Amino acid sequence: MDKVSKLELQKVACKVRMGIIEGVHAAKAGHPGGSLSCADILTYLYFKEMKIDPKNPKWEDRDRFVLSKGHAAPALYAVLAQRGFFDEKELLGLRQIGSMLQGHPDLKNIPGVDMSTGSLGQGISAAVGMALSAKHFGNDYKVYAVLGDGEIEEGQVWEAAMFAGNRKLNNLVVFIDNNNLQIDGTIEEVNSANPIDRKFEAFNFNTFVIDGNDFDEIEAVLKKAESSDKPVAIIAKTVKGKGVSYMENAVNWHGAAPNDELYEQAMQELNAAYAELN
Amino acid sequence: MSEVKSVATRVGYGEALVELGNVRDDFIVMDADLAAATQTGMFKKNFPDRFYDCGIAEQNLMGIAAGIATTGKKVIVSSFAMFAAGRAFEQVRNSIGYPHLNVVIGATHAGISVGEDGATHQCCEDIALMRTIPGMTIINPADATEARMAVFAALDCDGPVYLRFGRLAVPIIFDDNYKFEIGKGVELKEGNDVTIIATGLMVNEALQAHELLKAEGINARVINMATIKPLDKEIVIKAAKETGAIVTAEEHSVIGGLGSAVGEVVGEECPVPVVKLGVYDVFGHSGPAPKLLDEFGLRAVNIAEKAKKAIALKK
């Protein structure tokens, strides 16, 4: 998949968004808003950036991905399914008894999941551990993590950032899915971590601010990250609920499933967007 | 009689890490700014390139350890029991326990015998906390010899291991012929009137209690229960059946520790009196460790009293 065009990425991202909506609708629960916001980042990572093999998900030298904002599991699962780690049909079992697709990522039972996450603030430490392991044992894989902008209110995030910065773990790339909304309101209303870029900079990261729903910008920033001598933090400005009109920038779609009517509307919008790409 | 040598179990831990470091290089050791106290400092001195200090950030310590373990590499992390099991409980549960990762947690300065630092550092809840995590192995060695053997075994154990060590120098009970096995209790003294099941520094007290009771004509069986989880149910049930009364002895809260674990098995499999000796739902306080052990009733004489109580409760 070396040469993946922007159009192809857009199509995959559209499919991923459908997978998110289908899964959350079937589960009657889940977190669509923050899944849709980071869908483009995950799509880019799994379809263009990361060195992975869906047929060998435990490949020792693979790049690692940690979804530190584990509640965006529907996005991760949809990307993994699109990438061929498991059958798309699995998405309809999301959050249900007997399904491998737990409400939050479970590394033991889901092919392609590199770390169990869900309790906010913990994933980044695991990503740092993976990056440290690679450095120590002489492996050349990279580690990518996606954090929420609400998640970084957790103190552990900054413990992890301090360590990564001090150890110059330049094999670590952290995305902050900066959709500006958390459960209780905007991040400013709740307990703002702004300015996020300057905080990571102060923790000795190379820091970039991009539009996280724009593949050109994602691609450009990851190119820059390749030559970094420090860990990289990418503040990705995103739209919560991106791609489904009534979910966009709406805090009430953080953790709610659409009813049948709204599900149909969402799928119509996504299908229309997909048709436009063809 | 030659004088008994006393060594803290944390020293046995530190020495074992160096020994392991000399023969294999497939593991990393980490600490949270307590290397001089936990004794991982010995490893740091010998293998500075294989030691990482993550500073005073125990939550991150556990998360990093989890990340390393996901890459198939081994890691041993240390802090005081209070911070390893207490402060970082949720990280141990969610980042290490839930994915069942091979992380060895070397928790030192457990229990009342921390001494002068007082209640904020005297962790008597760690066994209880760690027991509630599915798949967690918990080992509380009785002396430095057993501590060393436990470290060796833990490094190749499947899933997470919580090793509990003490600050205070305690008598060496075992020599190199001692056989340590994870999940196996060891009968140290025969007896059929009552069984004392002890762990950690209380094992030495239990051996003394055996002598005190013998002087009164009571034959107390003594079992060293280093592994608290998974508990050696077989040896507990056998003791319940053969001696009809059990005393547990631990330098830990009587809520949720060895006594609770033994009580659960006995209650379900072979009900006989189980009398628990431990810290009775109170915080510790500052003072020299030996005096605190006297004050909190964690001595041979206290075990002997409980043994007699257990015998009196027999039907």
* Amino acid letter, A101: L
Suggest the residue from A135, A136, A151 to mutate for an interface test with chain B (most B CBs closer than 10 A): A136
The reported pLDDT for the residue numbered A3 is: 58
Residue of B nearest to A142 (CA): B71
3-class DSSP string for chain A:
CCCCCHHHHHHHHHHHHHHHHHHHHHHCCCCHHHHHHCHHHHHHHHHHHCCCCCCCCCCCCCCEEEECCHHHHHHHHHHHHHHCCCCHHHHHHCCCCCCCCCCCCCCCCCCCCCCCCCCCCCHHHHHHHHHHHHHHHCCCCCEEEEEECCHHHCHHHHHHHHHHHHCCCCCEEEEEEECCEECCEEHHHHHCCCCHHHHHHHCCCEEEEEECCCHHHHHHHHHHHHCCCCCEEEEEECCCCCCCHHHCCCHHHCCCCCCHHHHHHHHHHHHHHHHHHC
Q: Sort out which chain B residues have CB atoms less than 8 A from A160's CB and list them.
A: 60, 63-64
Assess if residue B176 is contained within a domain: no
Q: Are residues B43 and B93 in the same domain?
A: yes
Chain B within 8 Å of A171 (Cβ-Cβ)? no
Q: Are residues B255 and B120 in the same domain?
A: no
Q: Are residues B153 and B254 in the same domain?
A: no
Domain holding B47: CATH number?
Answer: 3.40.50.970
The reported pLDDT for the residue numbered B2 is: 61
Q: What is the ipTM of this complex?
A: 0.96
Count CB-CB contacts under 10 A for residue A54: 16
Inspect the interface and report whether the beta carbons of B95 and A127 lie closer than 8 Å. no
Domain containing B83 equals 6-171
Give the number of domains in chain B.
2
Inspect the interface and report whether the beta carbons of B60 and A118 lie closer than 8 Å. no
Inspect the interface and report whether the beta carbons of B57 and A163 lie closer than 8 Å. yes
Inspect the interface and report whether the beta carbons of A124 and B64 lie closer than 8 Å. no
Q: What is the rounded average pLDDT for all residues in chain A?
A: 97
Q: Are residues B283 and B202 in the same domain?
A: yes
Q: Are residues B30 and B131 in the same domain?
A: yes
Chain A residues 190-249 within an 8 A CB cutoff of chain B: none
Q: Sort out which chain B residues have CB atoms less than 8 A from A136's CB and list them.
A: 28, 50, 73
Query: Is the pLDDT score of B185 beyond 70?
Result: yes
Distance CA B286, CA B122 (A): 9
pLDDT tens string B131-143: 999 999 999 999 9
Distance CA A236, CA A193 (A): 14
**What domains sit in chain A, N to C, each tagged with a CATH number?**
6-277 (3.40.50.970)
Chain A within 8 Å of B54 (Cβ-Cβ)? yes
CA-based nearest distance A113→chain B, Å: 11
Taking alpha carbons only, the member of B228, B196, B200, B205 closest to residue B306 is: B196
Inspect the interface and report whether the beta carbons of A130 and B70 lie closer than 8 Å. yes
Inspect the interface and report whether the beta carbons of A137 and B94 lie closer than 8 Å. no
Distance CA A262, CA B171 (A): 71
Q: Sort out which chain A residues have CB atoms less than 8 A from B98's CB and list them.
A: 106, 116
Q: Are residues B151 and B192 in the same domain?
A: no
- The domain boundary, picked from B171, B199, B219, lies at B171
Q: Are residues B131 and B271 in the same domain?
A: no
What is the average per-residue pLDDT within A205-217? 98
Q: Sort out which chain A residues have CB atoms less than 8 A from B54's CB and list them.
A: 159, 163
Chain A within 8 Å of B152 (Cβ-Cβ)? no
pLDDT tens string B85-112: 999 999 999 999 999 999 999 999 999 9
Paired with A237 in beta bridges are A178, A211
Chain A residues 80-109 within an 8 A CB cutoff of chain B: 106-108
Q: Are residues B221 and B290 in the same domain?
A: yes
Phi–psi pair at B219, nearest 5 degrees? -100, 105
Q: Sort out which chain B residues have CB atoms less than 8 A from A125's CB and list them.
A: 59-60, 62-64, 66-67, 91, 95
Please name the helix (run of DSSP H) or strand (run of DSSP E) that holds residue B186, with its range, or none. Answer: strand B186-189
CA–CA distances in Å: residue A158 to residues A161, A192, A200, B314: 5, 14, 9, 57
Inspect the interface and report whether the beta carbons of A133 and B100 lie closer than 8 Å. no
Inspect the interface and report whether the beta carbons of A131 and B67 lie closer than 8 Å. yes
Chain A within 8 Å of B65 (Cβ-Cβ)? yes
Q: What is the rounded average pLDDT for all residues in chain B?
A: 97
Distance CA A225, CA A45 (A): 13
Chain A within 8 Å of B67 (Cβ-Cβ)? yes
Helix (H, G, I), strand (E, B), or coil: what is residue B223?
strand
Q: Are residues B210 and B100 in the same domain?
A: no
Q: Which of B54, B57, B70 sits opposite A126 (nearest CB)?
A: B70
pTM: 0.97
| Tally of CA atoms within 13 A in the half-sphere of B97 that contains its CB | 19
Q: Are residues B81 and B199 in the same domain?
A: no
Query: Is the pLDDT score of B153 beyond 50?
Result: yes
Distance CA A39, CA A44 (A): 9
pLDDT tens string A249-269: 999 999 999 999 999 999 999
Assess if residue B180 is contained within a domain: no
Place B291 in a pLDDT band, splitting at 50, 70 and 90. very high
Assess if residue B1 is contained within a domain: no
- The domain boundary, picked from B171, B206, B223, lies at B171
B242 is catalytic: no
pLDDT tens string A97-135: 999 999 999 999 999 999 999 999 999 999 999 999 999
Enumerate residues 6+ apart whose C-beta is below 8 A from A77. A19, A23, A90, A91, A94, A101, A110
Distance CA B210, CA B254 (A): 21
CA-based nearest distance A142→chain B, Å: 12
Tokens of B226: 């280093």
Distance CA A261, CA B272 (A): 62
Inspect the interface and report whether the beta carbons of B63 and A114 lie closer than 8 Å. no
- The domain boundary, picked from B171, B206, B234, lies at B171
Q: Are residues B49 and B165 in the same domain?
A: yes
Domain holding B284: CATH number?
Answer: 3.40.50.920
The reported pLDDT for the residue numbered A2 is: 44
Helix (H, G, I), strand (E, B), or coil: what is residue B8?
strand
Q: Which of B62, B70, B90 sits opposite A115 (nearest CB)?
A: B70
Chain A within 8 Å of B48 (Cβ-Cβ)? no
Chain A within 8 Å of B60 (Cβ-Cβ)? yes
The reported pLDDT for the residue numbered B3 is: 76
Q: Which of B15, B58, B125, B250 is catalytic?
A: B58
The reported pLDDT for the residue numbered B209 is: 98
* Residue B251 falls in which region: left (phi positive, over 0), alpha (psi -120 to 50) or beta: beta
Helix axes A6-27, A260-277, angle to 10 degrees: 170
What is the average per-residue pLDDT within B157-164? 98
User: Strand B137-139 relative to strand B74-80: parallel, antiparallel, unpaired?
Assistant: unpaired
Assess if residue B211 is contained within a domain: yes
pLDDT tens string B57-72: 999 999 999 999 999 9
CA-based nearest distance B18→chain A, Å: 18
Query: Is the pLDDT score of B1 beyond 80?
Result: no
Cα angle, residue B71 at apex, residues A202 and B79 outer, rounded to 5°: 60
Inspect the interface and report whether the beta carbons of B63 and A122 lie closer than 8 Å. yes
Q: Which of B54, B62, B70 sits opposite A163 (nearest CB)?
A: B54
If you search the block for the tokens 């003791």, which residue do you land on? B239
Chain A within 8 Å of B100 (Cβ-Cβ)? yes
Taking alpha carbons only, the member of B191, B130, B132 closest to residue B162 is: B130
Chain A residues 146-165 within an 8 A CB cutoff of chain B: 155-156, 159-160, 162-163
* Amino acid letter, B255: I
Asked if A19 contacts A82 with a C-beta cutoff of 8 angstroms, the reply is yes
Chain B within 8 Å of A131 (Cβ-Cβ)? yes
Q: Are residues B67 and B101 in the same domain?
A: yes
